[in-house]
């Protein structure tokens, strides 16, 4: 265990298992977990009612999980992600910020700009691949260009060597001390009063949170995987809620 104080910046990786950023920070020293909700920066990608409900439930689940490991999740609503990260760095005396990659164009530009600004301030910034087998910029054709067909892309992936790294989840976290203005999940404002009655119905069928995603994946592999393999192209085949792509949706 090192002595580095690290800001762990959560985004869509709302889990404690298979989280390379969190695992690296826990190994280096004390951690200061932060989730920043910045509606102003969402722009045209501001999430809809159901997505915000899912996010709210997943944050509550993550908050409980981190608490069980000894750390508190800081929930902050702001108009500037960069300013908030700098505030957290100063409050804790942190020297490092870690996060897992996002791949949509808006996030790529924002993350690049934030990383540049933090490095200028003398902060070490490390980002990780927390979702994919290969990063998008690691798979190109022989000329160094992006593939335009899936078949060619997939064939290239099949011949790439991959070092499988599965970070062990921390069994205990050492919290970095510091005071910032944070709020509760409810105070983030992810749902308003008019939405709550409709949202209550969602909880009857959907179960957000990383451990519930693990349970759903285990059920699919143990009970439905073979049927999916045989019937995946049939319109009346496997029920949609068993499709494996849903398991990446943790928040």
Which residues does the annotation place in the binding site for FAD?
A: 228
d(Cα 250, Cα 35) in Å, to the nearest integer?
14
d(Cα 130, Cα 232) in Å, to the nearest integer?
27
Show the tokens assigned to 209.
């949170």
CA distances from 227 to 152, 153, 238 (A): 28, 27, 7
Compute the half-sphere exposure of residue 175: CA atoms within 13 Å on the CB side of its CA.
14
d(Cα 139, Cα 196) in Å, to the nearest integer?
44
The dihedral sign for the CA sequence 55, 56, 61, 64: positive
Residues in binding site: 228
What is the separation of C-alpha 108 from the centre of its chain, rounded to a whole number of angstroms? Answer: 14
């Amino acid at each position: 265990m090192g002595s580095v104080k690290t800001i762990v910046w959560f985004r869509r990786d709302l889990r404690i298992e298979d989280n390379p950023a969190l695992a690296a920070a826990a190994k280096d020293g004390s951690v200061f977990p932060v989730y920043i909700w910045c509606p102003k920066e969402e722009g045209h990608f501001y999430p809809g009612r159901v997505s915000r409900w899912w996010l709210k439930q997943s944050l509550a689940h993550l908050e409980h999980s981190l608490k069980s490991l000894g750390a508190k999740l800081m929930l902050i609503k702001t108009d500037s992600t960069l300013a908030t990260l700098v505030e957290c760095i100063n409050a804790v005396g942190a020297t490092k910020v870690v996060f897992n990659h996002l791949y949509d164009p808006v996030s790529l530009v924002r993350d690049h700009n934030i990383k540049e600004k933090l490095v200028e301030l003398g902060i070490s910034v490390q980002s990780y691949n927390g979702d994919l087998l290969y990063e998008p910029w690691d798979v190109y054709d022989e000329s160094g260009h992006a593939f335009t067909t899936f078949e060619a892309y997939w064939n290239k992936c099949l011949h790439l060597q991959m070092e499988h790294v599965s970070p062990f989840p921390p069994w205990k976290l050492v919290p970095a001390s510091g005071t910032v203005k944070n709020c509760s999940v409810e105070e983030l404002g992810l749902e308003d009063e008019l939405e709550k009655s409709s949202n209550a119905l969602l909880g009857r069928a959907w179960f957000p949170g990383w451990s519930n995603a693990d349970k759903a994946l285990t059920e699919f592999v143990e009970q439905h995987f073979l049927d999916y393999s045989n019937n995946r192209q049939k319109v009346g085949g496997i029920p949609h809620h068993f499709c494996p792509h849903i398991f990446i949706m943790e928040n």
